[in-house]
Structure 1
Amino acid sequence: MSLTGINGTKDGFPVRTLVTHYCRDLSNDLFQPKTFRLILAIALGLMLYATTLWAAPKIEYAGPFIDKPPVIIGGMQDFPPYEFLDRNGNPSGFNVELTRAIARVMEMNVEIQLGNWNVMRQALVHGDIDALQGLNFSAERTKEVDFSPPHSVVQYSIWARLGTPKISQLSEIQGKTVVVLKGSISDELLQSAGINNLIRADSYGEALRLVASGKYDYLAAAKLPIQALSTTMRLVNIVPLMNIDSLPYSYAVKRGNLALMGRFSEGLAILKKTGEYQKIHHRWLGVLEPQALPIKQIIKYATPVVGILLLIIFSIVLWSRMLKKQVAQRTAALAHEVSERERAMKELQHHQRQLIQADKMASLGILVAGVAHEINNPIGGILLGLPTLHKAHDMASSCLEERYRESGDFTIGGLRYSVMREEVPLLFDEMVQGAKRIKHIVEDLKDFSRTIDPTCTTPLDLNTIVKTSVRLAEHTIKKTTDSFVENYAESLPQIYGCSQRLEQIVINLILNACQALEHRGQSITLRTYHINNEVRLEVKDKGVGIPKEHFPHLTDPFFTTKREVGGTGLGLSISAGIVKEHGGQLKFNSTPGKGTKVTLALPVVKENAA
């Protein structure tokens, strides 16, 4: 008797022959001994056939090409949803449907046998079956089998009873009893991790019962099959604690059977290209199996998220830049405001100092007027007395000469007469000239300090104004240079103006020229001349010169490069105002390092111009 039916009976006649031989008389001899023996033989044969089918591994003939030699495909009988026996005892699951599809596209005749896992694996090694439709890859297993490209991924986990403390690494179950499926990848993984107390079960159902009953501590097994079996077996006290690994799951053939492996690999590739693989995968596994998202799906879902993030980042960057720009503008505005306030404060301080200086000058004018008056009185007496003394000396000189002739040289007032007779007349002349000079300077100071009437305009001679100014600044000139040259043009036309204010301009120009000199060897030259309808004064020095960048600010109030030595920056500003009042011009020409030339041009009186 074979696995597929009954070949004969005890007496060697086939069952079909027995039925045909005795069937003729069955209706007439139903209760005869011979008929009874026939019925009993048929019943015993059917019972033996049914018993044989129940005890053998479950076999399915797949593929339309039954005329070709069958390829025997093995699998595990309790590994849902990948491969398992359904309620009718037929092979089912993802692996089974995938194998059928590959058989169809590759024109293969396959037999699918599902049974005990360890038995099936040994059957492949010994050549009793041609392939396994699901085997996890490991380097150790490549010594015995060849793998196709993976058709799915299986995740393995550590399971335990409800209430067992969570674990985060395998070392925490060291010393505990762990149930594994005999010959499974879990068995190999835990052995390589150094876990020693392994309990090997023949099936996942047995392994689940051993842990659920409390006999052993942990179970190491595939996640999806254990979830499915625990639901089917209603074992609600088994829960996963941690994931061990996710491993590729492939077809496997006996090592060296490359032709068969090539057919499975090619068929799998065709199914993936046509999209049938994806349909089978989705039908059985869907989102249950851990897998990497396809790149297109990642792009599909990531694109809007990335777009929104980029938009947010761009908005933040743009807002940040705008904020920085506003802060910079506000900072610049505040800095400008602070600068303006500082400048205003400095101008106020300068104005205050100028007011103080003006007050000092006003007080000095009053003082000068008083001092001049006090000096004028004794100077007037000196000028009146000196001629009388000079006359008395002349009258007494005849008597002194006579004595000198008679008695020889003698001493008067500590001086020998022979020297005094020559020196005294010269002393008288110098004293008279000095007194007159003092009187002249006092008169100039009185004029300079006198309160100015803005409407004061009289015909003036420029040469006289310049000479008066030189006398007032003579002390500064002598301290500054050994070369002060004056060239006055003759018969200059008269100008209209206020002599005191014009003297103020000339004195300021002379003092500026003196301050520009670096040593006494440098010179200052004054020149007056007449050209067209103007009379001009030219003040030229050989000093340091003026930088070009300072030219636009020379007549600005409070602009000075000599603030550290007491300069106020008002001299040229005031001078420019006075020149404008007189209808004239003030021109500057300078070369840094070589000197400066300032030209004062004033209009002549119209009748003179005519």
Structure 2
Amino acid sequence: MASLSFWMHARRSLPRICVFVLAALLVAVVDPGLCMSEEIPGKSRPILVGGDRDYPPYEFLDQDGNPVGFNVDLTRAVAEVMGMKVEFHLGTWAHKRQALMDGDLDILQGMTYSEPRSRVVDFAPHTIVNHAIFARRGTPPVSNLDDLAGKQVIIHRSGYMNDTLAAKGFGKDLILPDTPADVLRLLSSGQGEYAVVAMLPGIYITREFRLDNIQQIVRSVATVRYGYAVKKGNEALLARFSEGLAILRETGRYQEIHDKWLGVLEHGRLRWESIALYVAATVSPLLALLGGSMLWTHILRKKVAERTASLTMAMEELSRNQRQLVQAGKLAALGTLVSGVAHEINNPNGLILLNIPILRRTQADTIRLLDARREHDGEFTLGGIPYDRMRQEIPRMMDEMHEGALRIKRIVNDLKNFARPDESMNKALMDLNDASRKAVRLVEPTIRKYTDRFTTNYEADLPLVWGNSQRIEQVVVNLVLNACQSLPDKSRGIVISTRHDQDAGKVVLCVRDEGTGIAPEHLPHVTDPFFTTKRDTGGTGLGLSVSAGILKEQGGCLVFDSVPGQGTSVRMELPVTKEDGES
């Protein structure tokens, strides 16, 4: 059946394909020089095809810097059926559009048609593009482009909407980044009020970069033709691409490429709705039959549940014991591995931390030379990115690398502290107030970063406690850092206080914050090894576990009290030293 379908399709397509082939032969007979000329790109040299480096899913550069997208696959397919060589040059749209007019490119593979543009370029449309208005959630709605008058609108520089809104007199209120992705990133970050981009790239970019605070508020404010464009007068090259497009449409190859890149975004919702209708139509007749069986099953299930309740409890207890044994084995293995692994990680990480300041100084020296070149030669690219942008990005990348290396160092230190053996032999009489003050001095820059309201209230003449002062300082540091990271803004406060609980025979240090609090279901697990609710921001889940272990060595404990949305109080309790020097 597959073979029959293929031959029927080929039979239908053959007459039209023959027409294209005969037309090409006729051109060759009438004007042989047109086909044999060395000046025709695609024969003696590749055709230079330009496009936007950040306009998904039509055309963009992937993570490896390779051109991909609907336009790229379509151009490759056209070149294949027409026997042409192509070479892709993707960059900022404004630059590539100018490059076509300057003769540095032969063709643009994706340009929106407009009457003013048709005066300087010739078009061969291959698809239809709809433009939409996007805004941050909560932004007042609009219904069309005219409603954007007087508003700050972000649009793609030199794009179709740039031409359209400028013609409407909106020029003074327009924000013009280089790419559609930059348009939506700026909108998401709080700049501008609205953005107008092509609908499919807008959907693709918001999903890819998880710009959840942006929504599409008006669909299809403009529906326009989109396709190949050549400089006015280059009809021969445009004709070859038009012929290749016609062949791809007749053979079904165009539809395959279209469905690969655009089909899911254009029709995904409709298909799911159709599937839901089919499923509902199929399931409905079965519901009546299932009703009786479900009732009978419910009765049987209730009886089985009653008889197996005790067995279930036993199985749960067994499972819990097994998990504890597995975790104990993991922790034992961790203690063995940490010392060797920490050394292997710290050595290369130390090189990174050592080399980054050198690279920063080198970059600072190099930037003067590159600025001089920029002044003399104009804009140029560095690593495939315009120099003006790269000049801003390199220091940021240096900061990110330095912060990443410091994060690696902190994680390794947490692991080493977690696996560190009992240091009870280093205990001595210590003043908890003094240990707390030293810890606060260590993290004072971090405290200033997170809050403007940090206070301490140390009770005078606290009894001495028996313990390791440095390890107690580490516990206080961990508690203060956790409190800082829980604050939603700098207006929320942190208070450290100490007191002597004579009835319990303990000295208590309390760290209280006005942060987001801890969910009730998480509270019993906060000192479990590797348990953290801050995994995405670099939490390892070892800080409170290490702290609880340290206090256990000192004969003390940690007590947590938290109300979600109001804050958390953590009490560190240590036994008071007796007259004989023992706690």
TM-score bin, normalised by smaller chain: 0.3 to 0.5
Q: Which has the larger radius of gyration?
A: 1
TM-score, length of structure 1 as denominator length: 0.36
TM-score, length of structure 2 as denominator length: 0.38
